Amino acid sequence: MSHKVLITAHIFDEGGPEAGEVLTDAGLEIVYPEVPRPWGEDELVECLVGVSGVVAAPNTFTDAVFARSPEVKVVSRWGVGYDTIDVEAATHHGVVVATTPGTLHDSVADLVFGLMLSVARNLSLSDRQVRQGTWNYRTGQLVWGKRLGIVGLGTIGKAVARRARGFNMDVVACDVVHAEQVAGELGVRYVSLDELLSTADFVTLHANLTEDSVGMIDEAALRRMKSTACLINAGRGALVDQPALVKALQDGAIAGAGLDVFEEEPLPKGHPLTQLDNCVLTPHCGSFSIETIRVVSRLAALNVAQVLSGERCPCALNPEVYDSPALRAPLRE
């Protein structure tokens, strides 16, 4: 009997048939969720009945979900963020958790520049007005030559820094670890978060969402920013205290925001952010370029195929699971 692989990442098939073929060529059967969203724990567990592997959207995989879904052997995140997965619990239950590292930074970095330019020059507001017949000039500001502050100089942060050179930007960054050599090659200078916030014209967030970083851009942080500055967030919504951001945008404490991610997704209809002209909102689509979808889907599928064929998965976040007697998909020696 072939193993079933559940696809909850709705974008998986959009890059063409190749990613699905990685699974079917490995003798796996692709299935799609039949339970309507939104999914709490019970709904997700229901979707996982009879399922051995998952190509996963940011669904919440808790200890209880792993315990109640004993057939699941591998969860492969379509993407790089795994803040919705309890990896320690997965290891305890013998489940391999994998992501698709190094696949989506260019797509997200492109979107960051799109948001930055759009906020700086009021592009989406102008577009709405022109469509409504209003020919209204809005004064914007330059991106060229400005100071860019990158919070989190990981793979995506570095891709943003590379683009910033073409805009003659002065790039500063802060991070918990310093990669001085790479930063030097990219012309990036490490500064404290305080200095970054108080001097940057554009602040872009690329830190992982952890217990330490949740709400890091709070009211005090927003107050430290220049009143002419713009905040860009294509990382995780919960890095920002959203009510505080709404207030900062309403009061003019900062000039604008470009947001691809939110505390609650989808952003509820009529949310205060949707009433503000000085922010640009997109639906968590940073990695949704056709080239990137192809690469991410393929790697996400490969992770599942490897685990279910008894191979070691190089993208496993918890390789220690291979030494555990609880391992649900034994290695083929």
The set of catalytic residues is 236, 265, 284
Interface mask toward ligand 8YV for 281-320; x: CB under 6 A: ---x-xx---------------------------------
Considering only residues 93 through 132, tell me which ones interact with ligand 8YV, judged by CB under 6 A: 104
Interface mask toward ligand 8YV for 27-66; x: CB under 6 A: ------------------------------xx--------
Q: In angstroms, give the least distance from the CB of 104 to ligand 8YV.
A: 5
The single residue listed with the structure tokens 């958790």 is 97
Q: In angstroms, give the least distance from the CB of 68 to ligand 8YV.
A: 23
The single residue listed with the structure tokens 């690329």 is 206
DSSP string across 156-177 = HHHHHHHHHHHTT-EEEEE-SS
Q: In angstroms, give the least distance from the CB of 82 to ligand 8YV.
A: 7
Choose the binding region for ligand 8YV from 43-51, 121-129, 178-186, 280-288 (rule: CB under 6 A).
Answer: 280-288
Q: In angstroms, give the least distance from the CB of 192 to ligand 8YV.
A: 26
Considering only residues 61 through 80, tell me which ones interact with ligand 8YV, judged by CB under 6 A: 78-80
* Cα gap 261→288, rounded to integer Å: 13
* Cα gap 233→262, rounded to integer Å: 9
Interface mask toward ligand 8YV for 156-175; x: CB under 6 A: --------------------
Site size toward ligand 8YV (CB under 6 A) is 11
Q: Please list, in sequence order, all residues whose beta carbon lies within 8 angstroms of the beta carbon of residue 161, skipping any fewer than 6 positions away.
A: 148, 150, 153, 171, 173, 186, 187, 188
Would you say 113 or 122 has its CB closer to ligand 8YV? 113
Report the residue number whose CB is nearest to ligand 8YV: 79
Phi, psi of 225, deg, nearest 5? -70, 155
Tell me the residue length of the chain: 333
**Whole-number Cα distances in Å, 40 to 36, 64, 74, 87, 316:** 11, 12, 20, 18, 25
Q: In angstroms, give the least distance from the CB of 261 to ligand 8YV.
A: 7
* Cα gap 61→77, rounded to integer Å: 11
* Cα gap 17→32, rounded to integer Å: 15
Applying CB under 6 A, the residues found at the interface with ligand 8YV are 9, 57-58, 78-81, 104, 284, 286-287
